[in-house]
């Protein structure tokens, strides 16, 4: 039983992964059909996982409310909002179809959720300023280099082309060292992801089983 519990999930994961990988690489109709089937099954499981997420939110926040933990009122507002939106989406009057396309649900998203998210995005500006101030405190040689680069890029950006040399320096910094660094990181990430995939296929890393 222990052997089954330990090795069966690994065997299934490796087999499914190999089928999907081969379907991506080799143009064989049989493999393609199996690969597509597995991907569709994964999408179905993801949809079920969303329901599990809903149950998790209910469990976590109902416990906070029942135990009167600090700021439990926020949990109450969250649960009430969730249940109200759910009810509006599911209980459609006669002649209207239920679901996210219902005008009332769309109004909630367009008039409440979208503005709140836009406000949160706007807040990021202030967060960037305070984070930049903390980062640019001269602590070591790295901070000094970063401060110098920031000042040069900022100077090139705010002169609006009035000082051509500064604009050229800014463009060179962004196009050469910054781009080279970003591409280096992305190449490393691609190699790291490939090796991680190999470790998964070999069953070395398997957070899904013992």
Partner 1 sequence: METIGLVLLLLALPVLFFLVARVRSGKAGQLRPLPAAEELADTVGRATETGRPFHVSVGVAGVGGSATAETWAGLSLLAELADEAAACETPLVVTVADPTVLPLAQDILRRAYNRQGHPEGYDATQVRFVASEPLAYAAGVAGLLQREPLAGNIMVGSFGDEYLLMGETGARAEVRQLVGTTDPRTLSLVYATADEALIGEEIFAASAYTKKLPIQIASLLTQDAARWVVVAAIILLTVFKILF
| Footprint on this chain of partner 1 (rule: CB under 8 A) | 24-27, 42-43, 45-46, 49-50, 52-53, 56-57, 59-60, 63, 70-71, 74, 117, 120-121, 123-124, 127-128, 130-132, 134-135, 181-182, 185-189, 191-200, 202, 204-205, 207-208, 210
Residue among 100 and 164 whose Cβ is closer to partner 1 = 100
Residue at token pair 């899904």: 208
In whole angstroms, the minimum distance from the beta carbon of 159 to partner 1 comes to 23
Cβ at position 147, least distance to partner 1 in Å? 12
Please, which residue, 96 or 117, has the CB nearer to partner 1?
Answer: 117
- CA 193 vs. chain centroid, Å, equals 17
For residue 50 the two structure tokens come to 């969303």
**Between 15 and 56, whose beta carbon lies closer to partner 1?**
56
114 versus 165: smaller Cβ distance to partner 1: 114
Q: How far apart are CA 176 and CA 156, in angstroms?
A: 15
CA dihedral 140, 143, 149, 150 (to 10 degrees): -150
Nearer residue to partner 1 within complex by CB, 154 or 165: 154
Residue 79 CB, shortest distance to partner 1, in Å, is 13
The angle formed by the CA atoms of residues 43, 49 and 54, to the nearest 5 degrees, is 140
Smallest distance from partner 1 to CB 185, Å:
4
Rounded to whole angstroms, the Cα distance separating 74 from 80 reads 10
CA distance to 58, 74, 82, 86, per residue, from 77 (Å): 12, 5, 8, 14
């Amino acid at each position: 039983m222990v052997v089954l519990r330990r090795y069966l999930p690994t065997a299934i994961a490796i087999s499914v992964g190999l089928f999907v990988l081969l379907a991506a690489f080799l143009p064989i109709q049989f493999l393609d059909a199996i690969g597509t089937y597995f991907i569709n099954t994964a999408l179905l499981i993801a949809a079920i996982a969303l329901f599990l997420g809903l149950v998790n939110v209910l469990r976590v926040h109902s416990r906070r409310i029942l135990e009167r933990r600090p700021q439990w009122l926020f949990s109450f507002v969250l649960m009430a909002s969730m249940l109200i939106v759910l009810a509006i989406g599911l209980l459609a009057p006669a002649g209207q179809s239920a679901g996210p396309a219902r005008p009332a649900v769309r109004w909630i998203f367009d008039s409440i959720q979208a503005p709140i998210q836009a406000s949160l995005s706007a807040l990021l500006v202030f967060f960037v300023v305070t984070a930049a101030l903390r980062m640019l405190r001269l602590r070591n040689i790295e901070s000094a280099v970063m401060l110098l680069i920031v000042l040069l890029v900022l100077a090139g950006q705010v002169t609006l082309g009035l000082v051509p040399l500064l604009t050229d320096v800014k463009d060179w910094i962004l196009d050469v060292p910054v781009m080279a660094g970003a591409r280096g990181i992305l190449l490393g990430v691609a190699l790291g992801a490939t090796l991680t995939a190999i470790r998964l296929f070999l069953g070395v890393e398997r957070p899904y089983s013992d």
